[in-house]
Each structure stands twice: as structure tokens, then as C-alpha cells.
């Protein structure tokens, strides 16, 4: 198969059908007629000698071959798009585009309000989708262009993923307002004698604070493990359990519960938050603009 004999527009159709799971929705996304999409799909099937998509009810389900080539095709198209546009200027006031931003739910409350204030003011036709992506898939999603940026803690990612620290914050402890033992101050002995909540999306494993306590030869009693800090804040307000969490999000999530917010009585690394992007979009004007909006959104904030 010689590249000069292949219509690259077919791969745009391929990605649209794969993403939408529907010929109809793919035609709407690409602003093409359904017969044109169907014709392109037939050419793709001949090209690969594979059905690529099989109808199951209302959905077009991808074949194993389609699933194996989707990421290389996405990455190739993204690289071509960047090559064609990297010398162009990006005008947010006129651009019509959706950015996909990966971030953990703990960061949504701190990052999204100032970020969307800036975007809606500057760019009336730009939309933002904040999504959660498995960390093991972060590199492939950024490389493929299905993610524009990611915001997360410091991660061991390859050099092709560029990064910039955008904010750091402290760790605090929450206790209910009328706690029988803790009133306005907290020492390490009291902290270790108490029972605790660990908020984590993972089913098992220690929290960051537990790793640091283990360095001191200490192990706290986790009475409750739950998925979200907001729920944990509510549990704190109705029990004697303590919750350890990032300060910035604590002040947001705790507003309606009026729990005490106290310094953690042990040395703890700061919660450093980084912005990540793929080297393919380093010089892409649109991505560069979005990176600047994220950096400015985190200014004067703690996480």
C-alpha cells in the first residue's frame, strides 16, 4: 500500500466513526452527508480488507483491527494538524473548538471557576470538557490528541510529555467543630490516637500522608475509606473522625460544614500540581493559548 494512493480524508472519517460509534453522528461531526460517510467507510474496508466497524443495534462497534490502529491514526492526524497550523495565529475570539482537559476531581473546584471565567470572556465559541483519565493512559491520550492538556500531581512521565508546575499547597486536617478532644490545635500524639478517613478513588493502598507517616515509623487507624473529599467532609461533621486533605480544596468543600481546619502536625511535602502536554503541541497556537489560561487560573491559588 503506497501512501500516494491513499486519501488521507478517509482517516478523518475513520476517527469520527470510531469516536461517535455512529455513521449518522460522524456525518454531523464532519458536516458531511451520510452517503459520503458510508462511501468513505466502504473505501476504508477495501483498503484494510477488514469491516472495521460492525453494527450492533444502534452502535457501530469497532473490530480488533480498528482498535489496534486508532491511536496511531489519531496521533498521525494530530501531528499533521499541528504541522499545518503551528505557524498560524490563534484568535480565541473567532475560534470554534473544544478542548479536552484531564484533571482529578479534587482539582475541578479550584481550577475550573477561574479557567472558565477567562475562557467565556475571551472565547465565546470555545468549549471545555474536563474529564478523568486513568494515569496509565495519560501518555497515549496526549500523544493521540484526544487530550489537549492534563493537570495532576507530579508523575513519572517520559520526556515527550512536557510539564510545568502551576501551584503548590499545604496539607491540613479537618475535625468537627465540637470535637470532644480537638479544639483549635492538634498535636501529633492526638492525631495518631484518633481514627481517620482516607479519601481516595483507588480501592486500596496508602494515601500520601500515610507514606510520610511511615517514614516516621507511624501508622494511623483508617476507620473509613471513601471516594470523595466532599462526602468525607460531611462524615467529619457528624463523627469524631479526622480527615487529612489539601488545604485549598478543604476550604471549598468545608464551607457548608464548618469543620475546624488545622495544620497537619507532621512534616509533609507540598501538594505540587503540574500542567502536562505532549511535545507535538509545544508550538501549537491553540494549545499554547490554553496552557496560558490554565497557568493564569492557578495564580494566587492553593490546592
**222-256 confidence digits (pLDDT tens):** 999 999 999 999 999 999 999 999 998 899 999 99
Task: Give 188-205 pLDDT, tens digit per residue.
Answer: 999 999 999 999 888 888
Name the more confident of 192 and 169.
192
Bridge partners (DSSP) of residue 30 are none
- In this prediction, residues 81-85 reach a mean pLDDT of 69
pLDDT exceeds 90 at position 29:
no
Provide the pLDDT confidence category of residue 110 given band limits of 50, 70 and 90: confident
Residue 96: strand, helix, or coil? coil
Report residue 241: phi and psi, to 5°: -70, 150
pLDDT at 3: 62
Question: 68 and 18 in contact (C-beta within 8 Å)?
Answer: no
- Gap between the Cα atoms of 115 and 190, Å rounded: 39
**pLDDT score of 41:** 94
Helix, strand, coil share (%) of the chain residues, nearest 5: 45, 20, 35
Best CA proximity match to 150, nearest among 11, 275, 52, 278: 275
Question: Cα 288–102–19 angle (5° rounding)?
Answer: 95
H-type alpha helices, the chain? 9-20, 23-30, 34-48, 64-85, 105-122, 138-144, 188-193, 208-215, 229-238, 247-253, 285-297
Question: Per-residue pLDDT for 33 more than 90?
Answer: yes
- Picking from 122, 119, 124, the residue whose alpha carbon sits closest to that of residue 101 is 119
pLDDT value, residue 88: 61
Residue 301 pLDDT class (50, 70, 90 cuts): low
Phi, psi of 281 (to 5 degrees): -110, 15
Question: Mind giving me the DSSP string for 5-29?
Answer: GS-THHHHHHHHHHHHSSHHHHHHH
> Residue range 267-272: average pLDDT?
85
CA distance 23 to 88: 32
| Total count of residues recorded for the chain | 303
pLDDT at 104 over 90: no
Amino acid at each position: 500500500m503506497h501512501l500516494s494512493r491513499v486519501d488521507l480524508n478517509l482517516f478523518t472519517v475513520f476517527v469520527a466513526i470510531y469516536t461517535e460509534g455512529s455513521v449518522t453522528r460522524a456525518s454531523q461531526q464532519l458536516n458531511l452527508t451520510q452517503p459520503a460517510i458510508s462511501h468513505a467507510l466502504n473505501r476504508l474496508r477495501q483498503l484494510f480488507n477488514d469491516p472495521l466497524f460492525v453494527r450492533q443495534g444502534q452502535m457501530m462497534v469497532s473490530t480488533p483491527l480498528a482498535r489496534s490502529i486508532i491511536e496511531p491514526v489519531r496521533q498521525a492526524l494530530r501531528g499533521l494538524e499541528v504541522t499545518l497550523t503551528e505557524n498560524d495565529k490563534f484568535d480565541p475570539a473567532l475560534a470554534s473548538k473544544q478542548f479536552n482537559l484531564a484533571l482529578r476531581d479534587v482539582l475541578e473546584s479550584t481550577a475550573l471557576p477561574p479557567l472558565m471565567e477567562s475562557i467565556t470572556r475571551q472565547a465565546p465559541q470555545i468549549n471545555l470538557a474536563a474529564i478523568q483519565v486513568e494515569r496509565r493512559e495519560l501518555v497515549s491520550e496526549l500523544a493521540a490528541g484526544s487530550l489537549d492538556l492534563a493537570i495532576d500531581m507530579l508523575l513519572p512521565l517520559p520526556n515527550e510529555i512536557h510539564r510545568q508546575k502551576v501551584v503548590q499547597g499545604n496539607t491540613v486536617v479537618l475535625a468537627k467543630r465540637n470535637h470532644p478532644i480537638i479544639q483549635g490545635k492538634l498535636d501529633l500524639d492526638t492525631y495518631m490516637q484518633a481514627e481517620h478517613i482516607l479519601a481516595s478513588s483507588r480501592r486500596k493502598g496508602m494515601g500520601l500522608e500515610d507514606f510520610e507517616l511511615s517514614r516516621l515509623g507511624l501508622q494511623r487507624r483508617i476507620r473509613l475509606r471513601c471516594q470523595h473529599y466532599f462526602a468525607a467532609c460531611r462524615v467529619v461533621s457528624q463523627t469524631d473522625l479526622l480527615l487529612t486533605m489539601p488545604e485549598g480544596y478543604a476550604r471549598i468543600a468545608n464551607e457548608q460544614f464548618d469543620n475546624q481546619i488545622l495544620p497537619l502536625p507532621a512534616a509533609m511535602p507540598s501538594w505540587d500540581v503540574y500542567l502536562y502536554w505532549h511535545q507535538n503541541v509545544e508550538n501549537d497556537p491553540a494549545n499554547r493559548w490554553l496552557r496560558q489560561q490554565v497557568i493564569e487560573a492557578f495564580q494566587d491559588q492553593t490546592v
